Structure 1
Amino acid sequence: MARAVRSEIEAAGHLGHVYASRRPRVRPADADPGAALPAPAVVLVHGIGVSHRYLQRLHRELAESVDTYSIDLPGFGSTPRPEHTLTVADQASYILGAMEQLGVLEFTLVGHSMGVQFGIEAAIQQPGRIPHLVLMGPVVDTERNTVTQQALALGRDSLFFESPSSNGLVFTDYLRCGPSWYLKNLRVMMEYPTEQRLAAVEAPVLVVRGGNDPVAPEGWCRRLIERAPRGRFVEFPGSGHVVQHNRSAEVAEAILAFTRQPGACSEASQEFQA
């Protein structure tokens, strides 16, 4: 696997970090000339309060096959805090601008939790650059759309369905984020109309959830698939909200299978077997 290299990138007026694992550009002399071309680059986007760290296992798995990038959005991880709270559209513009600076003009975008919202908005802003969109543990379920309901769901997830390592990564990032910045972004997350905005996405969509995820229930995920023009669904039994950490190899396999089958998304509500 290519080693992830961090770049500090200013885009859309804000500063963030991108961790890049690029594969060799020269085909080896003994490579099969008839081998399938690699899938497009994959960009991983974290959710509220956290950073690229809980995406690292998935990043490593994907980087074995494709160029892979993980982003620490402005205000998260070790990036500087913006002077004001950024909207979902602001963060989407940062993603697109940062990847353009790196010369990555087309990529599969994979968002987790609130990162789903950033991914949706990026796919709406520049649809030609995102041929596939992956939504992992999407928020916010319209039938559980209060802060109290979301907090209870997250608490259940961390207590009953997460591993010690996933909880450790998430909660140490929460501490680094701090309550003030978290709460400002929580308001942005709760107000974003995920379901309605998804209907404007042109790219094929894959929705991924852990089978025990109380934050992204199955019914909510299936409603999103119905909204997507070309949607697919995959569920990993026994896993919680941070499915990409605890089932990283299987999630990576599902993402790569989805991006390498351009003709497989012609019908709505198709499913992968997990």
Structure 2
Amino acid sequence: MQSGGWPAPVEVEAAGHLGHVFASRAPARAGAPRTAVVLIHGIGVSHRYFTRLQGLLAESVDTYAIDLPGFGATPRPERTLSVEDQATYILGALEQLGVLEFVLVGHSMGAQFATAAALQQPHRISQLVLMGPVVDSKRRTVLQQALALSRDSLFYESPSSNALVLTDYFRCGASWYLKTLRVMMDYPTEKRIPGVTAPVLVIRGADDPVASVDWCRRLAGRAANGQLLEIEGAGHVVQHNRSEDVAAAILDFAGIRRPAEEVHPGRPG
């Protein structure tokens, strides 16, 4: 684990699968408990589109961005993994690293993995953050999802976010992407979220055509303790294009004080 600079990957085997964990340890602060935030990517992509967000969070908390089995530079599993399989990997990998309680953040399909993890071991998830969650229960066809994603990349993303996503899609490969797509389309997030006991924050870019405001509002409303936050001027990859806003939202939701907010002895507070 590194403190400063971009973290190197650690290969972790859990539940019979291999993934990569990119961990960064926050600077120690007297009297402040160590808190962990875990970042889970969506279909076809990797930790790379969390780089900006992880860097900001790492100023205040220990962070762990995971490349799930079959994504990024990890080996492809021999069979298609379910949402629950990936959730089991997340929990097992973090346990091996000694991370037993944490704030869990999932983006896009990662919101499904995060939801499943929060259901499997609720005692370990202090807060659950779902960014641009899928799949809208009123638009549950591949064509509708493809059109929404195309609109997002054409009109609401930056060149850098598009480059990150497209190069990761290429690395993922069509075969694994399509196998995982079927899993994503079949997972009923709206039916699973009522069982989550942790507080839930749903974050969406205000221009996101994939995770509509109606869908995100319905999802937050179905959580036992849920709320919705929209971030202006962002599409689906909100954590890359509005990383400062997203980092602040996560820390505020988890009740974590940032270094700049701390009151120091002998200084006005």
Query: 2:15 matched to 1:20?
Result: no
Instruction: Specify the code of the residue in structure 2 equivalent to 1:66.
Output: V
Question: 1:2 corresponds to which residue?
Answer: 4
Instruction: Specify the code of the residue in structure 1 equivalent to 2:9.
Output: R
How far the C-alpha of 1:39 sits from its partner, in A, is: 6.5
Instruction: Specify the code of the residue in structure 1 equivalent to 2:22.
Output: Y
Instruction: Specify the code of the residue in structure 1 equivalent to 2:152.
Output: D
Alignment length, in residue pairs? 253
Structure 1: 5+ residue runs without aligned partners?
262-274
SS in 2 for 1:70: strand
Question: 1:228 corresponds to which residue?
Answer: 223
How far the C-alpha of 1:125 sits from its partner, in A, is: 0.2
How far the C-alpha of 1:175 sits from its partner, in A, is: 0.4
Matches within 5 A, 1:36-185: 37-38=32-33, 40-185=35-180
Percent of pairs with identical residues: 70
Aligned mates of 1:233, 1:226 — CA distance in 2: 9
Aligned mates of 1:144, 1:38 — CA distance in 2: 42
How far the C-alpha of 1:233 sits from its partner, in A, is: 1.2
How far the C-alpha of 1:38 sits from its partner, in A, is: 4.7
Aligned mates of 1:143, 1:39 — CA distance in 2: 40
What TM-score results when the alignment is normalised by the length of structure 2?
0.92
Q: Is the 8 A contact 1:39 1:260 kept in 2?
A: no
Q: Is the 8 A contact 1:133 1:204 kept in 2?
A: yes
What TM-score results when the alignment is normalised by the length of structure 1?
0.90
Q: Is the 8 A contact 2:9 2:20 kept in 1?
A: yes
C-alpha root-mean-square deviation of aligned residues, in Å?
1.2
SS in 2 for 1:134: strand
Matches within 5 A, 1:186-201: 186-201=181-196
How far the C-alpha of 1:2 sits from its partner, in A, is: 2.9
Question: 1:270 corresponds to which residue?
Answer: none
Q: Is the 8 A contact 2:221 2:227 kept in 1?
A: no
Instruction: Specify the code of the residue in structure 2 equivalent to 1:7.
Output: V
Kindly provide the CA deviation profile for residues 76-99 of structure 1, in whole angstroms up to 9, marking residues without a partner as x: 000000000000000000000000
SS in 2 for 1:226: helix
Question: 1:269 corresponds to which residue?
Answer: none
Aligned mates of 2:34, 2:96 — CA distance in 1: 21
How far the C-alpha of 1:237 sits from its partner, in A, is: 1.3
Structure 2: 5+ residue runs without aligned partners?
257-269
How far the C-alpha of 1:23 sits from its partner, in A, is: 2.4
